Amino acid sequence: MRDVGVERPQQMRTVNRNARWSRRICCVCCAFLLLAQDAQADQLVSSTFDCLIEPQQVVKLASSMVGVVAELHVDRGDVVSKGQILGKLEDGVEEANLALANARARNVYTIRSIEARLEFLSKKHGRAGELFSKQIVSQATAEEAAAEVKTSEQQLKEAELNLEVARLDVVRAEEVVRQRQLRSPVDGVVVERLLVPGEYRNEQSPILTLAQIDPLRVEVIVPISHYGRIRAGSGAKVQPEQPVGGEYDATVKIVDRVLDAGSGTFGVRLELPNPDLSLPAGIRCRVVFELERDQISLSGPKR
């Protein structure tokens, strides 16, 4: 028989050894878990850069025609919408030409006169044909009546064509009048009035400066070391300087593919929505990107 007193200490030593191994395994697993979490956290790194908020586009508005400015309905700071009439040049002559073209386009009396004559000549030709069949009139008389009908038909077609040309003249005259008007090509605000009513607008002088500020454009200069880690379509946070302040979501639209070797930088453009026009353009800001450490290529065709 085995000695029970001898076996019990051996069992205790085995249990203690197994417990020590279990603790070691747990420590190793915890260490690997922490390393994995650190590695995952290192995949995304926030980087902050200086930026500038600018209008989406600035338009030097002019007319395709030259002349004296007659009216301007807006001033600096006014909000305008696309297609809105902002003013016009002197257009008295053009309006008169339009009225004349409209009068010609409404003139159908020539056509009615020719239609009446054509109806008369058709009846005359019919009677001449009957009389010629009875040998009462000569063949020359019947042929003359037929020729008069054909001539009248051609005159009717010419009159209808002239009426169509007159209607096209109305379209042309309306376009000439429209070219004397100033229409906004964008939704935005008036930045500056460069001419006032009474001044002459030549071929090289704009009349108004407009700025589209929805959406806004955010320009950033980034070191080359971050090239390939910012991709078009990714998000960013834009923080305008005081007194505007706040933080706004923006989307990367353009990442330059031509770098500046002299400064060691490249450009990035973001689009910042501004539907209520609460954010001004022309203000400095800070932009925060979530950069991917392992991302080394921009979106695009792969070689």
What distances in angstroms separate CA 46 from CA 42, 43, 269, 289, 290, one per listed residue?
10, 10, 18, 6, 5
pLDDT at position 299: 37
pLDDT at position 130: 82
User: What is the fold of 44-57+212-292?
Assistant: Elongation Factor Tu (Ef-tu); domain 3 (2.40.30)
- Angle at the Cα of 66 from the Cα atoms of 62 and 70, rounded to 5 degrees: 80
Beta-carbon contacts of residue 225 (< 8 Å; ≥ 6 apart): none
- Ranges of residues in the chain with a pLDDT under 70 are 1-46, 291-303
Question: How far, in Å, CA of 211 to CA of 277, rounded?
Answer: 12
pLDDT at position 163: 94
The token pair that represents 143 in the structure block: 């042929």
Coil, helix or strand at residue 140: helix
Residue 103, H or E segment: helix 92-105
pLDDT at position 224: 92
Bridging pattern class, strands 79-80 and 85-89:
unpaired
Beta bridge mates, 183? 85
* CB distance 57 to 173 below 8 Å: no
pLDDT at position 301: 39
Closest-CA residue to 68 (of 260, 197, 181):
197
* CA R_g for the chain: 42
**Tally of residues, the chain:** 303
pLDDT at position 45: 54
Closest-CA residue to 281 (of 15, 119, 77, 128):
77
pLDDT at position 39: 42
